[in-house]
Amino acid sequence: MKNILLGSPLLVALGAAGAMAQGAGEGPQGNGPRASFEQLDSNGDGQITLEEMQNRGQARFVQTDTNGDGLLDMAELTAAARRAAAERVTKMLERKDSNGDGMLSMEELTPPDFDRLFARADTDEDGTISRDEWQAAKSAMRKNRHNEGAVNPESGK
């Protein structure tokens, strides 16, 4: 069973997606950092091969499989999710904590994000967000998150 799981094309695809979801920059839907081009190009030849992506995905699987049984159980997945969440929180604190006290105040979180997001959603500029505007904003955010997850071959991002 262990060999079947590790050789599964589905696992390879998931592993590659996981490999791309770790490294530099935020991934889609806040799923943690994305891998940089340099991290995926493990031999440094300026090209990413399918094998390099598969190796990165398999390494991530092995790292998450802390008991080494070739399977990811609830405890291992939960621990991995907690590590990823802690990394996201650390980055958010680094980005938003303008006074460096290790905490976020309402002032550090509010401007300009809420104003900008509200203005973007209020497409008819009437000072309120209708149900239709709300749904359109949610759809646009999903689309943006999906597009952010795509790797731009020119920039490596």
Mean pLDDT by runs of 10 across the 157 residues of the chain is 41 40 42 72 92 91 95 96 94 92 87 77 92 92 71 47
- What contacts 143, CB < 8 A, 6 or more positions away? none
Output the pLDDT for position 100: 93
pTM score, two decimals? Answer: 0.50
Note the pLDDT of residue 78: 96
Indicate if 66 and 96 belong to the same structural domain. Answer: yes
Q: Are residues 27 and 54 in the same domain?
A: yes
Domain that holds residue 145: 110-157
pLDDT score recorded for residue 149:
53
CA distances from 105 to 94, 96, 110 (A): 13, 9, 9
Model pLDDT, residue 142: 85
- Residues 71, 123 within the same domain: no
Cα three-residue angle 5-11-17, rounded to 5 degrees: 160
CB 72 within 8 A of CB 65: yes
Domain check: are 16 and 58 in the same one?
yes
The reported pLDDT for the residue numbered 141 is: 83
In this prediction, residue 148 carries a pLDDT of 59
Angle at 151 between CA 148 and CA 154, to 5 degrees: 120
One domain for residues 15 and 86: yes
